[in-house]
Amino acid sequence: LASGPVVQPAPTVDGFVETFLGELNYGQGTLLSQSTVNDQYLALARTVRRYLMADWLETGTRRRQTQQKTVGYLSAEYLLGRQLGNNLLATNLQDIAQVAMERCGIDIATLRAQEVEPGLGNGGLGRLAACFVDSLATMDVPCIGYGIRYEYGIFRQTFEADRQVEVPDSWLSLGNPWEFPHPERQVLVSFGGSTETTTDADGRERCTWTPDWQVIGMPYHYMVPGHRNGVVNTLRLWSARATQAFDLQIFNSGDYAQAVRAQTTAENISKVLYPEDSTPQGKELRLQQQYFFVACSLHDFIDNTLPADFDLRRLHQRIIFQLNDTHPVIAIPELMRILVDRKGFAWDEAWEITQKCFAYTCHTLLPEALEVWSAELLGRLLPRHLEIIYRINEEFLEEVREAHPGDEMLVRRMSIIAEHPERAVRMAYLATVAASKVNGVAELHSQLLRDKVLPDFSRLWPEKFTNVTNGVTPRRFVRLANRRLSDLLTETIGDGWVTDLDRLRELEPYADDAGFREQFRAVKQANKERLTTLLRVRDGLELPPEAMLDVMVKRLHEYKRQTLKLLHIVSLYDDVVSGRVPAEQVTPRTFVFGAKAAPGYHLAKEIIFLINAVADVVNADPAVAGRLSVAFPANYNVTLAEKLIPAADLSEQISLAGKEASGTGNMKFALNGALTIGTDDGANVEIRRLVGDEHFFLFGMTEPEVEELTARGYTPSAVYESDPQLRSTIDLLASGHFTGGDRQAVAPVVDNLLHQDSFMVLADFRAYLDAQARVDAAYADPDAWSRSAILNVARSGYFSSDRSMRDYLERIWHA
Ligand code: 26Y
């Protein structure tokens, strides 16, 4: 019994009902007749968990025995989405569970809706991590996902008087049936204090770090099931605990608040996810979070996962740590510290090992998004790590000097340590120096990374740089989110596509089959109706279910250019209300936005306000009734994405060329049969190449054209002056028409567009409107449109995260 196979409940309706009732009675301590929806949800989740347990334990045993190389994915974010549906799908229990719940008089949809999604990420980077662990489990690749169990995830967005208001995301408050705390695997993490170097009897220098405070890292394990393959990998998320609940002496002296202060400090570390994505703030707590989870993870693997007698010179044969952006880069000096200070390795040998154990993925092109930690802060929080970074830098700069004698400018440019405006550590440089490979996340991004962000490094080590284009999991984003399309695909080409997305190619001939196109349109229409019902119930929005559904969902950022979309809407509205275009000539469209703004990003919040203000007026104006409507459902998250994306006709991917590293929403839309209107940016480039020019609405400046315009000097007000339609559109906005006459309320956005426009919205306005006119013309021919949509699906198999994982395995991990 101790080591034998775990008994799994019978995968039958009877077996499921019995297990479910057992969980309700013995797990929740209630009777079916007395139980709440939450009781039932928790019992159902625990029932599904039971069907995964034998495979989870078996996978763990097998991994320990075979000692294969493991991928240690280090990510500060995992945007997982709801677990119940995914795990029912993975175990092939969807139908059984539904019938079993019916037998208990329960509607399973109600229980699914009870789950609060774990929002442990901001956007693309966090969702990518979730897709990657899904794919690795499906491909039976050993992987441990390491991260942070934030007590509060990304804030819940609400609107009050059209403005974003953030509400804490207390996702754990009703209990979390998907996690397994392991207090016996807790780890101690140190901070602060000082270092001392002494010389051993044998003449070797030894450094000791005497920290001045410590916290406990407690791991919570999550199951990561492969798709119906008996594999369940592990996600290990760390939670911070105080080493002592409180100081008894201070407590006894009567100062209760002071007595628990240390506990509060410690537990703050995993309290909340930082909601900024791309403008790093040099916040001490954020650095604490980064070191905390990385120190726990390295310790966990080296001291608790590897056999006790493991020879660390072979470490790279057992692990590759993939750094998801710079957030976990402090792992590099941490591994050096472990090897040199704790395990007694000589520096050079430790460095050789370290270089083989890390690879680094960059997710940005915005210079302001590259993390830099001040030496003052780093030295105060992690004095030994700062020393190690200095030494890494010294030896690296020696190498630069050898390769380029006399070029001190180059040395200064490449130094891991910046000197201005203050002495600081450039984390991307540290990652690049230490990593075996550095990759960007789409072809264009990887090229710009080499040429623009890290040009000196790519000249020094050209072989170090590579590309792996992002991908998305077809399990969640097609099979789970779009059951209707999935059934049609499976009827037509079999179900192999779920784990081999290239098989979608077999759909191509059906694009020319009128009967198939009819079925495909019926799927899209049904998905739209599902969405309009949801938005009616969820947000009180009344939307026409037949209009073209034009969707822009992603974080709110100037570079992503939600304002360009807004100008398009206002210009269509302006055309009608000014009498230039009869309403009957306007293609009926519903514009949907979904976007959270970082709470401190003022302009982004003004843009949200303006979208809501325009929506209020457009939706209420009889002049455009039945033609134009705008929906901005609050709190866009993975759960809402799963409803929105399958319903979309048009996918808006309109960032300024050279700014969006990849995008992954763009891939999800194409796979669900939306056509893209997009710039030549990120993975749009590859989407267009694959689906074909005729099935993609390209517009706007290219990256070199953006560069050129920047060099020439860009004056947005001149563009405004020269284009009457743009002038009319902006004037209407500026007039206060959408804000009850309040011109002040629109000024932040309008003034920024006219006088700054850092992301060249006005410069691309004309091209965007022309492309949208092409969209209207194409949409007028439903047969041609659905043919294009089907070809988008058929030709997007490349964007499976399974393919991304194969590329990482081949080019980077060699696992
Ligand atoms: C430093 C901190 C403030 C920070 C936190 C989160 C910085 C960045 C982020 C998140 C970045 C992010 O989500 N980047 C996106 O990664 C996707 C996956 O590679 C890309 O598709 C997308 O273009 C990129 O913006």
Q: Tell how far the Cα of 60 is from the centroid of ligand 1, in angstroms.
A: 31
- The per-residue pLDDT for 260 is 81
Distance CA 386, CA 400 (A): 21
**Contact by Cβ (8 Å): 674, 645:** yes
527 lines ligand 1 (CB under 6 A): no
Which residue type is seen at 471? G
Q: Name the residue with tokens 């700062």.
A: 386
Rounded to a whole number of angstroms, the CA Rg of the chain reads 27
Distance CA 680, CA 699 (A): 8
Distance CA 263, CA 280 (A): 27
- Give the contacts of 713 (CB within 8 A, at least 6 positions apart): none
CA-nearest of 700, 604, 691 to 658 is: 700
E strand or H helix at 527, and its extent?
helix 514-539
By three-state DSSP, how is residue 299 classified? Answer: helix
Which of ligand 1's atoms lies nearest the C-alpha of 371? 1
E strand or H helix at 164, and its extent?
strand 163-167
By three-state DSSP, how is residue 234 classified? Answer: strand
CA-closest residue to ligand 1 atom 3: 280
pLDDT along the chain (815 residues), means of 10: 73 97 98 98 98 97 94 98 98 98 98 98 98 98 98 98 98 98 97 94 88 97 98 98 80 80 88 90 93 98 96 98 98 98 97 98 92 97 98 98 97 98 97 98 98 97 98 98 98 98 98 98 98 95 94 98 98 98 98 98 98 98 98 98 98 98 98 98 98 98 98 98 98 98 98 98 98 98 98 98 98 94
Distance CA 647, CA 545 (A): 10
CA-nearest of 399, 454, 468, 445 to 426 is: 454
CA-closest residue to ligand 1 atom 2: 280
Q: Tell how far the Cα of 669 is from the centroid of ligand 1, in angstroms.
A: 19
Q: Tell how far the Cα of 614 is from the centroid of ligand 1, in angstroms.
A: 29
**Contact by Cβ (8 Å): 345, 337:** no
Domains of the chain plus CATH, in order, are 67-82+117-469+807-813 (3.40.50.2000), 474-799 (3.40.50.2000)
- DSSP assignment of 471-485, as one string? -B-HIIIIIIT-HHH
CA-closest residue to ligand 1 atom 16: 125
Query: What is the ipTM score, two decimals?
Result: 0.98
- The per-residue pLDDT for 768 is 99
Which residue type is seen at 678? G
- The per-residue pLDDT for 1 is 42
Query: Which of the residues are catalytic?
Result: 363, 554-555, 560, 664, 668
Distance CA 95, CA 560 (A): 40
Q: Tell how far the Cα of 363 is from the centroid of ligand 1, in angstroms.
A: 6
- The per-residue pLDDT for 710 is 98
92, 171, 335, 388 from 343: Cα distances, Å: 46, 40, 10, 15
661 lines ligand 1 (CB under 6 A): yes
Give me the count of residues in the chain. Answer: 815
Classify each residue of 19-32 as buried b or exposed e, where b means 16 or more C-beta atoms within 10 Å of its C-beta: bbbebbeebbebee
**Contact by Cβ (8 Å): 373, 427:** yes
